[in-house]
Amino acid sequence: MSATIETPIVPGPIQGPTREEPLIEALLLDDYRSLVHLAYLILPPAISRARRVAAAHAVVQRALPPSLTLPPDLALPRELPYSLTAQPDVTIPATRHREFLRRRVVEEATRQAADRSLLARLGSVIAPADGLEFDPCTIRPDRTAIHRRCARGRRLAITATLLLTAGIMVALLSS
């Protein structure tokens, strides 16, 4: 009978690329809410509210991929002239970093809005809005507006179906 020796599980080095600029990630966390709001405003309003919020969060989370190289003007000096731990009131001016983050979020949101397929763009026009997508915790939705939008979507869907059916019938009868 032989005894096996197992090596203990010890946390090793972090796998994958790491970012040397923790300031950018800290600013992302500090400004996360405003960046999500900015992305939400840029995304097309035809998307439902829940999907738009989720897409805005995804845009902000993809704003800083690990493979992104920061411009050289945003890099911090290796040795700071002061100790950050000794003087807690000292802050590093980060306006360029914030501008860089905002620009990345705007670029990602506009790219995602432009990449929507024609079917996705038409789907928001044709599909009727159902009242279940409204969140009752935020604001009381106007029920008549919901019913009006549902009726408009149904009328549009019925009209499109009738036109498509008529086109198919004409094509079948003429051949």
Query: Rounded distance, CA 71 to CA 21, Å?
Result: 11
With 0-12 / 13-18 / 19 or more C-beta atoms within 10 angstroms meaning exposed / middle / buried, residue 60 is buried
Query: Rounded distance, CA 39 to CA 106, Å?
Result: 7
From first to last of its 175 residues, the chain has per-residue pLDDT tens of 555 555 555 555 555 545 555 777 777 888 889 899 999 998 888 777 888 888 899 999 888 877 777 777 766 555 544 444 444 444 555 677 788 889 989 999 999 888 877 766 666 555 544 444 444 444 555 666 666 777 787 888 899 999 999 999 999 999 8
Torsion of Cα atoms, 28 then 43 then 107 then 36, to 10°: 0
